[in-house]
Structure 1
């Protein structure tokens, strides 16, 4: 662990030192990049309101101010089987949420939804040469079965939030952005992850996964039988 400090340069005037092997040289703080929760203390203020840290696993830097870590941890998860461009856009949504850029997160999430609709057969341009709007994308995804009847109330809420993000200046709240992002995550799972999991060989054989294994991988553990 101590070798990670060998490439550090520090300012000339210092009022105290932290011994590399002491308990003060380590801090429990979740790394936003790799998710590990132990970091090396590079420097701190006195009292300890601000810590300059380095993840002991990946070596990346982070700053902790009054127990808030910057950059923020990315919420939600990355569904499996995403195409490269979709994965990059979804990572941007998560990054925006992690730093409180809620309006930006919603705008990118809407863009992902339109991209998914086009990927599932919606024309990229209409007869007037215009890209499909949000309502057209939703209608197409419903036709394709990616949006079910029980998801309709959620879709209506997403539509309202998305329109505000596009046309109005007031910022989107954290709760609204979380709703949009959670919906987008589920849509990506239905659009890409299910097919990806079905294409993977099962643990027992080399055959593709069956329906029960697929459902079990997408849902939390339950004792209820799913037919």
Structure 2
């Protein structure tokens, strides 16, 4: 089982000294700074070998390996944060969007976040079978998206329509904004109310 890899009592990485690098671990989501792993050595004929600053890095928190080469990171950063108390059928779409971001599938992120808004609206009482704009209006009119968030939802509607109906590739920055907005809606409607409920019961 992959969980066994986290057990450092009997699994040891034979680590070498690598140039220290900071990154967000794609496994545990922590921002770490590691100097353990397997360095990429540049060995040019007639020149002194040296570390490139790239290679496989071992996370100092979960001890899992990440390959970093220039601007490539595998596994990538699953942008956004986990949200508590979200129904499985809603959370699965959110986590799939985060995984798509880690894979660099930014247009896929936008489409999944569009679908996520539909799942959220339905879970919060909207009828099934509506058009996307009707789900957006439902979230706005019932104040599920929070105050002054209409511009955010309109961005998701715009990006979602473009990705769905036009030949457009969405950018990393657009994917980041949409995930952060969806994370905010999930926290407002699921995580924060559950915290308040726990406080009232204590």
Shorter-normalised TM range: 0.7 to 0.9
Q: Map 1:129-144 to 2 at 5 A.
A: 131-144=129-142
Deviation at 1:25, TM superposition (A): 5.1
Deviation at 1:113, TM superposition (A): 0.5
Q: Which moved more, 1:171-180 or 1:148-157?
A: 148-157
SS in 2 for 1:5: coil
Match of 1:123 in 2: 127
Q: Does 1:32 align with 2:26?
A: yes
The alignment covers a number of residue pairs equal to 183
User: Within 2, Cα distance between the matches of 1:67 and 1:121?
Assistant: 43
User: Within 2, Cα distance between the matches of 1:56 and 1:67?
Assistant: 21
Match of 2:5 in 1: none
SS in 2 for 1:132: coil
Whether contact under 8 Å (1:75, 1:97) holds in the other structure is yes
Match of 2:86 in 1: 82
Deviation at 1:28, TM superposition (A): 3.6
Q: Which runs of 5+ in 2 are unaligned?
A: 1-7, 43-49
TM-score (norm 2): 0.77
Match of 1:195 in 2: 193
2:107 is matched with which residue: 103, 109, 113? 103
Cα 1:102–1:200, aligned 2, differ >3 Å: closer, same or farther? same
CA RMSD of superposed structures (Å): 2.7
Q: 1:7-61, CA deviations, whole angstroms, 9 ceiling, x for partnerless residues?
A: xxxxxxxxxxxxx5x6x25744432222243363135232433312333442322
Whether contact under 8 Å (1:116, 1:191) holds in the other structure is no
Structure showing the higher strand proportion among its residues:
2
Larger Rg: 1
Cα 1:108–1:3, aligned 2, differ >3 Å: closer, same or farther? closer
Match of 2:163 in 1: 165
Deviation at 1:87, TM superposition (A): 2.3
